[in-house]
Structure 1
């Protein structure tokens, strides 16, 4: 990654320029058996489409607050980078009533209804599937995102020194998030390109966000993001670590 990268969106652009075909996020849900692997290019395409939805259809811009009520999931990672691309403040698990936009999974819809702004719902079904019946008062992400543009340009340049992420009551600017992710990397066993971290941590702490997305992205590595990892036995976990060529793990 480039030393001049100062936002998570910068890190993704550098990763795309360096090696677009390499894996970036591999996702497992051990409750459903789902496995999804996204290359840097595929992940960046999802981010661009989601950022266009956020900026264009939802009218969000720098300084607006997005309450992200989602588990550790590949689509959550996409939203984190889409918010970074637009310049909104992403409040992980934050209060929807205090947000301009809420992005909710299927288990938090009632809480999300307290948002008086725009509401987006994700079914979190395999292959990014839509809801069988769209929840009232919400845009279905799986319906809205496919038609969005594959390239994104923010209306206003993102300021690295402005607030970007709120998690577990702590607020970080975009630049602080990048600096912390880089600083976390050695302790996570991320030594540079080719490092592959398996994370079973939730996204409701900085440690989970760093291990599950930001630190691998900041070092040219990749993440094997596992939801419901506790359902996997030790032998099966060891087999996954071997088959996915994992070099370091946090769970």
Structure 2
């Protein structure tokens, strides 16, 4: 990655410039059997569309706080990079009532209603499917995002020294997040092309780093596994082999 990258969005732009075709996020849900693989280019396209939705339709601005009530999922990773692209602070599991807007999965819709700003709902269905019946009071992400633009340009430059992420008591600017991700990548021994299997939740820095930010900072990729505990040992061993995993973090 480029040494001048100071935000997660910068890291993604460098990854796109270096090798757009390589895998970036491979997602498994071992409760449903779902598998999705996104190349850098496909992931970046989802991020651009989501950032356009966030900045345009939802009127989010740099400095706004977004309560992100989603599990470890490929669409959560997209939202994290979209927030960075706009300059919005992603508050993982944050209280919706204290946020400017909220993004929630199907299990968090009632809690999300406490937000007085824009509310976005994700069905988290295979292939990014929509809700059979849109939840009242929410924008259905799967309905709105496909029509968004494939390229994104922020209305205002993103300040790498402003808050980018809050998870639990930890608050990080964009620059601090990138620095931590690089340090974690080094500690894990990640080199360009490495494949990290992570079964950690996205409710801590360790989970976010192993499951997205450290691989992104290293030019590596992640095999993100939800409900990994439901996979028997022989299934895990087969996945490690099939996905050419070089580092496992569970």
| Residue 206 (structure 1) aligns with | 205
| Residue 131 (structure 2) aligns with | 131
Q: Secondary structure at the match of 1:154?
A: coil
| Residue 166 (structure 2) aligns with | 166
| Residue 19 (structure 2) aligns with | 19
CA–CA separation in structure 2 for the residues paired with 1:185 and 1:74:
20
Q: Does residue 119 in structure 1 map to residue 114 in structure 2?
A: no
Q: Does residue 80 in structure 1 map to residue 83 in structure 2?
A: no
What are the within-5 Å matches in structure 2 for residues 37-76 of structure 1?
37-76=37-76
| Residue 29 (structure 1) aligns with | 29
Q: Secondary structure at the match of 2:156?
A: coil
Structure-2-length-normalised TM-score: 0.99
Deviations 1:73-110 (A, max 9, x none): 00000000000000001000000000111000000000
CA–CA separation in structure 2 for the residues paired with 1:116 and 1:172:
25
Shift of 1:189: 3.2
Moved over 6 A (4+): none
Shift of 1:169: 1.6
CA–CA separation in structure 1 for the residues paired with 2:156 and 2:103:
22
CA–CA separation in structure 2 for the residues paired with 1:120 and 1:188:
35
Shift of 1:168: 1.4
Q: Does residue 108 in structure 1 map to residue 104 in structure 2?
A: no
Structure 2: gaps spanning 5 or more residues: none
Shift of 1:4: 0.2
Shift of 1:215: 0.3
| Residue 245 (structure 2) aligns with | 246
Q: Secondary structure at the match of 2:9?
A: helix
CA–CA separation in structure 2 for the residues paired with 1:24 and 1:160:
23
| Residue 236 (structure 2) aligns with | 237
Structure-1-length-normalised TM-score: 0.99
Deviations 1:110-129 (A, max 9, x none): 00000000000000000000
Shift of 1:186: 2.4
Structure 1: gaps spanning 5 or more residues: none
Q: Does residue 184 in structure 1 map to residue 184 in structure 2?
A: yes
